[in-house]
Chains A and B, each alone.
Chain A
Amino acid sequence: MFGRGLRTLSIASVVLVTGAFALVFLYAPNDADQGFVQKIFYLHVPLAIVALGGFVAGGVFAIQYLRTGDRGYDLRSYVAIHLSLILGLGVLATGSIWAKASWGAWWVWDEPTLVSFLIVFLLFACYQPLRFSIDDPERQARYAAVFAIIGGAFVPLNFLAVRLASSLIHPRVLGTTGGSMPGEMRLTFLVSLVAMVCLFVTLWKYELASKHASMRLRRLKRALAGDDAAGPLARTSAPTQI
């Protein structure tokens, strides 16, 4: 069910990510101001956009779960947030490397873009401990959905707040004027963004298929061998049933 189209998506992801990296290093010109180090931009910014989009998607799936009661949406929300956290870690690491190369410091605390992303990341880092702290699967899913909706709504608000804040040293990429990137850079950025979205969707479906298969297998085991033979279910932060 969740694995449908996974093969096509995997091939598309490999082709797009390889193509994007080829464009970054072979096609896009070096930035006049920052030089070669600006190549990190094509990785760091799409990663950040996709990670934040994943948090919002987690909130949207959580709304769907609360509306329908379908545990499949809880699983979708959980996996989207889990994957966004991993990408968020990548955003923080690549951002720090870029900051060190460009500004001479690994982190700048008075820069709203950096700190706001860290706040969003730390907020969602609490999602899994919250799930883990609740035993009852029904309550776990419901509380996690409420958390995901509030966290998901916080992302666009945060984005708006950063826009309204006075810009310090971190550049604003998505300007209202459409940005000031030359054609080659814009094309490379767009391909990198599409590649990252495709990679996210592929990994999301991959994990969904894996979790779904594991749940079905466990249910089958219980049905065949009886509850005692299947052993007690270990406490977990992941959804345990659909």
Chain B
Amino acid sequence: MPALPLDDAGPYVAGAYLVFLALILIYVAIMASKLVRIERELVELSDLVEGRRAAAADEERDAERSEAVPR
């Protein structure tokens, strides 16, 4: 088969390279969405730790207060 002229071959070549680019971009976008989910879980986890720390501090303060009150 004779070579396609540049005008006819151009869209095919561009199409092939764009398919590759699209695949990589879609892959990266999916990975980015997973990263966002990990970040959200990390925030939940740090909130949980902060909540526990605050609760422990409150308990400690209450204990100190009850010890300070004269019987």
Residues in B with CB closer than 8 Å to A90 are: 19-20, 23
What is the interface size of chain A, counting residues whose CB is below 8 A from a CB of the partner?
A: 39
Question: Are A40 and B38 in touch, CB under 8 angstroms?
Answer: no
Question: Are B31 and A206 in touch, CB under 8 angstroms?
Answer: yes
User: Is A43's beta carbon under 8 Å from chain B?
Assistant: yes
Question: Are B23 and A221 in touch, CB under 8 angstroms?
Answer: no
Given the interface pairs A40-B13, A100-B12, the reply to whether A207 lies near B31 with Cβ below 8 Å is yes
Residues in A with CB closer than 8 Å to B10 are: 36
Residues in B with CB closer than 8 Å to A123 are: none
Question: Are A103 and B13 in touch, CB under 8 angstroms?
Answer: no
Question: Are A101 and B4 in touch, CB under 8 angstroms?
Answer: yes
What is the interface size of chain B, counting residues whose CB is below 8 A from a CB of the partner?
A: 30
Question: Are B31 and A97 in touch, CB under 8 angstroms?
Answer: no
B22 to chain A, nearest CB (A): 9
Question: Are A210 and B34 in touch, CB under 8 angstroms?
Answer: yes
Question: Are A39 and B6 in touch, CB under 8 angstroms?
Answer: no
Question: Are A35 and B1 in touch, CB under 8 angstroms?
Answer: no
Residue ID in chain B nearest A30 by CB atoms: B3
Question: Are B38 and A213 in touch, CB under 8 angstroms?
Answer: yes
User: Is A33's beta carbon under 8 Å from chain B?
Assistant: yes
A47 to chain B, nearest CB (A): 7
Given the interface pairs A89-B23, A93-B19, A221-B45, the reply to whether A39 lies near B13 with Cβ below 8 Å is yes
